[in-house]
């Protein structure tokens, strides 16, 4: 049995906490919001996980020092916009070599740093790893079979995470390609916004299939330019996560996109969803990375114009459809 601390009491943090508790580990959940901790202690429920009861024995605290004390493993599950600040607060309590697994997804707008790199910058003494894949909290919290990939700089760390998380309902693979795992998880949220916008406009399966396929092309294009491995991007944390996020109503990115397709502004959509919509924060970073690495990402570009420049969603789709003619795979030769 491992002693595990989960930082972040949102739906994903709680879904992971339930999984780890059911695996026989001692789990403490930390939140920066005392009222959230008090609610969880009293009701054993979270409003965004209806019908899910927190198991007895799961501990809750808003005391950061208490949460970090003697933990074998730390799981960082705060929204991406709070990752750096939370890591900075944690630093004084982190011992040399402490394994921290980041399970959030995103890219920092100002620095273009991945979440793993942000944590490593703030807590250089830690061994920072990632866990990602097609894994809605609503399903993990109910024990629905799910598969993810753990990425770390050493095989030993990745296998430690694999052993702790593995269960009959949660299968974990390992990978050394931390960058690829993070890019897949962050960029798919931007494409999921586009898929949701298409749904909100009343378009059909053909449109969504095109957005998923061409969106994946954009993710791979940028990922390879940045040094990620194509195998990772076509794996669980890339195309696997992209499919589930574009197709499911559990996806807050898709739901926000649907609302924007129906005419909501970005701010109105985020308010209606009532949870952090990570794709909104990653969209500007994705555009900046495309410019930095001189990579063409037309879907990402149109999403940015809808989100931040007031472009009508229907016009954005038309502009995508009427782009200059292209060969699908330029590397394939004609006979």
Strands 26-30 and 99-102: unpaired
User: What does the alpha-carbon distance between residue 292 and residue 208 come to, in Å, rounded to a whole number?
Assistant: 28
Please name every residue paired with 149 in a beta bridge, in sequence order, or none if there are none: 132, 173
Q: Are 6 and 17 in contact (CB under 8 A)?
A: yes
From the list 82, 31, 81, 25, the residue with the least C-alpha distance to 55 is 25
Active-site residue, selected from the candidate residues 95, 105, 188, 292: 188
Q: Which value, in Å, is the radius of gyration of the alpha carbons in the chain?
A: 20
Go through 42-60 and write b for each residue having 16 or more CB atoms within 10 A of its CB, e for each that does not.
Answer: eeeebeebeebebeeebbb
Q: Are 5 and 75 in contact (CB under 8 A)?
A: yes
Q: Are 279 and 219 in contact (CB under 8 A)?
A: no
What are the structure tokens assigned to 146, written together? 């799910």
Q: Are 86 and 30 in contact (CB under 8 A)?
A: no
206 vs 171, 195, 199, 249, CA distance in Å?
A: 31, 11, 11, 18
**Catalytic residue at 311?**
no
Active site residues: 188
């Amino acid at each position: 049995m491992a002693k595990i601390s989960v930082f972040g009491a949102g739906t994903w943090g709680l879904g992971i906490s339930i999984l780890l508790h059911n695996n026989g580990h001692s789990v403490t959940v930390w939140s920066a919001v005392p009222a959230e901790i008090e609610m969880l202690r009293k009701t054993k429920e979270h409003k965004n996980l209806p019908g899910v009861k927190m198991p007895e024995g799961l501990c809750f605290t808003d005391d950061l020092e208490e949460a970090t004390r003697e933990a074998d493993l730390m799981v960082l599950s705060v929204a991406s916009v709070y990752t750096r600040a939370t890591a900075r607060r944690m630093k004084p309590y982190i011992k040399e070599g402490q394994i921290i697994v980041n399970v959030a997804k995103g890219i920092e707008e100002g620095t273009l740093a991945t979440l793993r790199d942000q944590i490593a910058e703030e807590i250089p003494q830690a061994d920072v790893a990632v866990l990602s894949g097609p894994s809605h909290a609503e399903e993990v919290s109910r024990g629905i079979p799910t598969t993810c990939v753990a990425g770390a700089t050493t095989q030993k760390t990745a296998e430690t995470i694999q052993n702790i998380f593995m269960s009959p309902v949660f299968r974990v693979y390992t990978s050394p390609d931390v960058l690829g795992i993070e890019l897949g998880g962050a960029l798919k949220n931007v494409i999921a916004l586009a898929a949701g916008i298409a749904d909100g406009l009343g378009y059909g399966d053909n449109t969504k299939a095109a957005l998923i396929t061409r969106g994946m092309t954009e993710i791979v294009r940028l990922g390879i330019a940045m040094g990620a491995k194509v195998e990772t991007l076509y794996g669980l944390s890339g195309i696997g996560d992209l499919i589930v996020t574009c197709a499911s109503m559990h996806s807050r990115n898709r739901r926000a996109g649907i609302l924007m397709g129906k005419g909501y502004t970005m701010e109105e959509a985020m308010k209606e969803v009532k949870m952090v919509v990570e794709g909104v924060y990653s969209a500007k970073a994705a555009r900046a990375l495309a410019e930095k690495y001189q990579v063409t990402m037309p879907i990402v570009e149109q999403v940015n114009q809808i989100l931040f420049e007031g472009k009508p969603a229907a016009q954005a789709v038309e502009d995508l459809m009427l782009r200059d003619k292209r060969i699908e795979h330029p590397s394939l030769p004609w006979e």
